[in-house]
Structure 1
Amino acid sequence: MGGGASNPYGTFFFGEADLAYTQADVQYNAEVDYGQQQNAAFNGGQAQWYGLSLLAHRKFSMPVVGRMGATLRYDLLVDSKNGGGGGGVALNANGMDTADGFGIGADCLANSKANGGLGFECKGATHQDVSLDLLFYPTQQITVKVEYRHDWANKQVFLKNDGSYGKSNDLLGTQLIYSF
């Protein structure tokens, strides 16, 4: 919970609507959500957020590679009220979720502290990401997934290796999935 929250417990409300379309080798998904939680924001107030997620997936065959798939996904989460927080967003004592890019920006916190504040006037970040996945199906039980993901926010919330914060983050990952 937030650094200023005097009570980590409070009323929690979350709702989402999902739409899905699947036909043969094509799949489309859309999700919108809204949530709020008392005493969960960084400044101790009510955290409130809303978001959108879109996904498109297609399976196909390539002559040399065989069966494969491609997925494109876009996500948006606006978590700015009262410094962000709530709904699974765990802010540290500085009002930041350095692993996921939520919470208040490092520059706003530094300016607030320089002026004798604690950062409670700072707004939380709006976080977006886009990812592209390539999936390979060498057998019925094995899936190999390669993903590139680019995250960005309107605040400096992504912790860099040198200890500084930036507004974007890139990730390249791979996964081997065995189904039985």
Structure 2
Amino acid sequence: PASLTRTVRAGLNAASQTFTVANSGSGTLNYTIESDVTWASINPTEGSSTGQTDTITVNYATSLLNIGTHTGTVTITALGATNSPQTVGLTMIVEAVPGDLDQDGDIDVNDATLFGTCLGGADVPISEPACASADLDGDGDADLSDYGLMQKCTSGPAVKAEPHCVN
């Protein structure tokens, strides 16, 4: 593939992904594979193909990444191949933990203040995209049920929010 994309909640490791390498020509294709980012590791990092398809796994260590979009590149190099090197773009989207409305990694009084601006009540749909993470129970509104979950998930200033606290 030209690219691999994953979305993960802050504090968690994203699930692995795979792609394949194969020699479409004659002879043996000897290749090496490397990632240019520390949060993506490759297995295996080298191989050879005489036509069979080799499955390559990209493992992600994303639990320490900040909220936002992170990009990287996997490079497959095969000396002597006319189309070498080949690249696979990596995009990792790290989303805030539900309730972390200011997206600073914790759930504290600042988030509670922002929640107040999103509070609409039971069965009142959220209309502001910035308030989507105020819907902690996933029912489409920001109400007292969500606020109760937010209180349960409160971590305090500069204390990393627990990614699974609403589950």
Asked whether the two chains share a fold, i.e. TM above 0.5, the reply is no
| Structure label with greater radius of gyration | 2
Normalised by the length of structure 1, the TM-score is: 0.23
TM-score normalised over the length of structure 2: 0.25
The structure with more helix, counted as a fraction of residues: 2
